[in-house]
Each structure stands twice: as structure tokens, then as C-alpha cells.
Amino acid sequence: MSRIGKKPVALPKGVSAEIKGQSIEVKGPKGTRSFTATDDVTLSLEDGAVKVTPRGTSKRARQQWGMARSMVENLVIGVTDGFKKELEIQGVGYRAAMQGNILKLSLGYSHEVNFEVPQGVTVTSPKQTEIVVEGIDQQLVGQVAANIREWKRPEPYKGKGIRYKGEFIFRKEGKKK
């Protein structure tokens, strides 16, 4: 049995859920999100909580059970608190600045990198060496943060580049003389 799937997803105050067949739509203070579950699980609203149950004992049904419950929980967290990824930039002359809907990155290249921010995500740069990605869709927030990081991944010798806040970079020793 799925330990994650067994727990119902509680709906906090100000959040409402509507189930139509295999899809669920969650509305909250930050917006609306929806998810369509596979045919292997059943979604139901009971006592102000969303309950996910498998439709059989097949391996796929048990796999989808915990996954569907986690997806519904992420919808609820997204519309109440939202998701946030913080990036930090290290390196001499490396900086970031927001100009309208475009994140301008100076990363030691011969040109500035212009990163266009997609809809559904807000990107801010509180300091020149910090980038904050926020939104209600966890997958989109993580993907945008990964795309920004991809422009200059941290290198193991000096540690220069864009990294997630708190990320440990394994450092290597340079050439010996």
C-alpha cells in the first residue's frame, strides 16, 4: 500500500476543489490549477479533503496512486503559498538585472544574455547576484530556474557560475606545479 496515497489532501480555508471525472480543478488566492489523473485512480471529495484511491491492485494503479496524490497536493500548495526557487551568481563581473519581462545576465561572455521570462512565472532580482523565480506551477518554476542556471553552470575549479541557493559545488584542485 502507498503510504503517501493513503493520506487525504486537506483543503485549507479559501481553497476550493472541483472534480469532473478524472480531472480536478483547484482554486485559491493565487490562482487556478488543474490536473487530469490517469484511469488507474479515482479522485473524490470527502469532508473538505481530496482522497485518491486506486482502481485495482495492478502495479501501474499502485504507482499512479501516490503520484496522483502528490500532484493534487502540489496544486493545493501552489494556489495557497506558491513555489519559489532562489539562484545565486558567483564570479567577478557576473550580474543579473530585470528589464520589463527580460532578465539580462552578464556572465563573462562577449555579449549579454537576454532571458525572456515565460507567462505564469515571475522572476525578480533583489540584488545583482541573486535571482528569485516564483509561481504557482512547481514544474514551470523548476524548469525556468534550470534554464537560467544552464547559461553558466558552476564550474568545479573556481566555483564561478549560476547555482541554486545552498547548492554544494564539489571543488577540484588545479594543476600542480
Burial class (CB in 10 A: 0-12, 13-18, 19+), 112: exposed
User: Does 105 share its domain with 156?
Assistant: yes
C-alpha grid cell, residue 13? 480555508
Domain end point (choices 79, 97, 126):
79
Residue 170 counted as domain residue: no
CATH number at residue 23: 3.90.930.12
DSSP bridge pairs for 117: none
User: Does 62 share its domain with 109?
Assistant: no
Q: Across the 177 residues of the chain, what is the mean pLDDT of every consecutive 10-residue run? A: 86 92 92 92 91 91 92 94 94 92 93 93 94 94 95 92 93 86
User: Does 36 share its domain with 90?
Assistant: no
Task: Please give the span between the terminal C-alpha atoms of the chain, in angstroms, as a whole number.
Answer: 59
User: Does 75 share its domain with 6?
Assistant: yes
What pLDDT shows up at residue 147? 95
Q: Which of 79, 12, 17 is nearest to 50 (CA)?
A: 17
C-alpha grid cell, residue 37? 489523473
Query: Any idea what DSSP says for residue 145?
Result: H
Domain that holds residue 148: 81-162
Task: Specify the pairing of strand 16-20 against strand 41-46.
Answer: unpaired
What pLDDT shows up at residue 139? 94
User: Does 26 share its domain with 87?
Assistant: no
Q: Rounded to whole angstroms, how far apart are CA atoms 56 and 156?
A: 49
What pLDDT shows up at residue 152? 93
SS (H, E, C) 6-72: HCCEECCCCCEEEEECCEEEEEECCEEEEEECCCCEEEEEECCEEEEEECCCCHHHHHHHHHHHHHH
Domain end point (choices 28, 54, 79):
79
What pLDDT shows up at residue 78? 93
pTM: 0.87
Amino acid present at 60: R
Judged by DSSP in three states, 5 sits in: helix
Number of folded domains that form the chain: 2
User: Does 63 share its domain with 112?
Assistant: no
User: Does 54 share its domain with 94?
Assistant: no
Contact criterion met (CB below 8 Å) for 29 and 79: yes
What pLDDT shows up at residue 177? 77
Domain end point (choices 30, 63, 79):
79
